[in-house]
């Protein structure tokens, strides 16, 4: 039986996610959006591209959630994108309603689906979707850590001239300016970054990683990143559908791990066919713990604001 992935929001991130997923040939795809004709047109364009790359999957565009029936995975990208000068929290009021509606509409037709949330503010929206949908913690995960870690890997590669394949970076924490790049655990071919790079160079990479999304927003001026967030979705979806037990950084529901509860937070998670299988706990030093607590405080504040706006 062919797997099925529904992507809610056919904007740049949603449609690019469909592109990356179609190339992996792991599931039939449904693009959903409220704009008439837009998801249909993008789906048709992508369907017509697949003969060139020799991939046999179905790509459907629709304005009706009924077409998503029986989806194994639901990806929520719908929401207002960031604009220059806008923080992720500025998006909260508008995107909370969008994510709530999308979650309930998708669950109506796919009650057993696993949810991957991208809408910002990411950790808060994943928490909202879990509460609104009354989902068990393993069936919902936020895409952020793969993206943030990939940005850090890219910056290290640019600085060192080493292939990205030799670079492993790990970013924890909330998906925002207080995220925590773990320089002690990140490495170039096994050599810790703290030993491989001068302190000033490493600090610059850490700061650029934290501001990576904003840097792109400021350059584009009319939108936000979509290539890297979308391919991160594809990696997560593939790990789930292929039951790979892949450990990746992602936003997960915390129930005591790292001393955190009742929130979503960026941590290393193991993904398989049932969704989040486990959370991996690193041993952190005092500096890393302090940075993680600061990041957690920012996420908790965002969740608290959201709880004042939405009944969950």
Question: Is there a catalytic annotation at residue 245?
Answer: no
Please report which residue ranges of the chain form alpha helices under DSSP H.
12-24, 38-53, 92-109, 122-133, 145-160, 193-196, 199-210, 212-220, 227-241, 286-309
Q: For 234, what's the count of Cα atoms within 13 Å in the CB-facing half-sphere? A: 22
- How would you write 61-84 as a 3-class SS string? EECCHHHHCCCCEEEECCCCCCCC
Please report which residue ranges of 89-144 form alpha helices under DSSP H.
92-109, 122-133
- As given in the structure block, the two tokens for residue 310 are 């939405």
Tell me if the bond preceding 82 is cis, omega within 30° of 0.
no
Distance CA 14, CA 77 (A): 6
Catalytic residues: 175
């Amino acid at each position: 039986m062919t797997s099925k992935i529904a992507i809610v929001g056919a904007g740049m991130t949603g449609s690019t996610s469909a592109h990356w997923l179609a190339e992996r040939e792991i599931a039939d795809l449904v693009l959903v959006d409220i704009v008439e004709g837009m998801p249909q047109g993008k789906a048709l364009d992508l369907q017509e591209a697949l003969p060139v790359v020799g991939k046999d999957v179905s790509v459907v565009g629709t304005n009706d959630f009924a077409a998503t029936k029986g989806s194994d995975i639901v990806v929520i990208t719908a929401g207002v994108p960031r604009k220059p000068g806008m923080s992720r929290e500025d998006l909260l009021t508008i995107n909370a309603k969008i994510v709530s509606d999308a979650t309930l509409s998708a669950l109506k037709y796919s009650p057993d689906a696993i949810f991957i949330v991208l809408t910002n503010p990411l950790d808060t929206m994943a928490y909202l979707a879990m509460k609104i949908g009354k989902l068990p913690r393993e069936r919902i995960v936020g895409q952020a850590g793969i993206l943030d870690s990939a940005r850090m890997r890219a910056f290290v590669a640019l600085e060192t001239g080493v292939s990205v394949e030799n670079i492993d970076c790990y970013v924890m924490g909330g998906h925002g300016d207080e995220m925590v790049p773990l320089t002690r655990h990140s490495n170039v071919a096994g050599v810790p970054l703290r030993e491989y790079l001068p302190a000033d160079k490493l600090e610059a990479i850490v700061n650029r990683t934290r501001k990576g999304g904003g840097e792109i927003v400021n350059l584009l001026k009319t939108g936000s990143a979509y290539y890297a967030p979308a391919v991160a979705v594809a990696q997560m979806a593939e790990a789930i559908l292929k039951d790979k037990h892949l450990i990746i950084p992602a936003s997960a529901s915390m129930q005591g791990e790292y001393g955190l509860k009742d929130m979503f937070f960026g941590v290393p998670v193991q993904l398989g066919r049932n969704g989040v299988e486990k959370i991996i706990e690193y041993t952190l030093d005092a500096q890393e713990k302090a940075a993680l607590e600061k990041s957690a405080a920012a996420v908790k504040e965002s969740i608290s604001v959201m709880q004042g706006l939405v009944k969950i």
